Amino acid sequence: MTIQDTPEEWEIRATRTPFTGAKTSVRTDEVVMPDGSVSARDYQVHPGSVAVLALDDADRVLVVRQYRHPVRQRLWEIPAGLLDVPGENPLHAAQRELYEEAHVKAEDWRVLTDVYTTPGGCDEAVRVFLARGLSEADGERFAAEHEELDMEVARVPVDELVRGVLAGELHNNCLVVGVLSLVAARAGDGLDALRPALAPWPARPFTA
C-alpha cells in the first residue's frame, strides 16, 4: 500500500456561499456520502498561503512576533502571507513576504513542505519554503500596517525553537511544521535533497 494523499471529489448536490469577506468566504456544500445520504459541509474558502523558514549561517531561524486576534495571543511565527493573486507564483510571493516582514533576501530557496492547515473546515493550502544565504534586502523598508505595526523580528536557534514546540510554548502552524520538517530533512537525505523552489504544487497550480 502506498501512503500518499490522492485527489478525489464526491458528488455535490447543491452549493451556496452564505458569507463573503475581503480575502476569504464561507461555502456550504450538500455532499453525497458513501451510503447515498446527503450532508451539509461548511468550510472556509481560502486563496492559499506561503511561509518562509529563513535559516542563517549561525543555524538560527528568522521569526516574527505579532498579535493574532482570533486566538487572542501574540504569536511567534515565520514570515508568511496570502497568495493574493490567483495563479501567483508561490516562490515570488514568499520572496515578497520575507522582504516585507523582515527586509531580508535569500540566495537559496527550496520547498520544505506543503500542508493543508485545517482540511476539515478550510481549504487553505500552505507551501513552506526553506530560504538560506540570507542578507539584508536592498532599498527602503516596507511600510507596515495593522497588526504588523509593532511586529518584533528575531533570530532564534533551531534547537530552542524545537524545545519550545515540544513544550507547548509555540503554536503557530507554519512555525511548528517548518521547524520540525527542517529537523526531519536533516536527519534524512539532507537539505540539499529537498524539492526545488519551483516544484509543482497541485493544490495551488501556478505559472513558473
Known catalytic residues?
148
Question: Cα 57–175–179 angle (5° rounding)?
Answer: 50
CA distance 47 to 164: 30
The alpha-helical segments, DSSP class H, found in the chain are: 90-102, 158-166, 173-187
In the chain the first and final C-alpha atoms are separated, in Å, by: 33
Radius of gyration of the chain (CA): 19
Q: Which residues of 136-162 are buried (b: 16+ CB within 10 A; e: fewer)?
A: ebeeeeeeeeeeeeebeeebbebeebb
Nearest to 30 by CA among 43, 9, 10, 12: 12
Which residue(s) pair with 62 in the sheet?
Answer: 155
Cell of residue 60, nine digits: 538560527
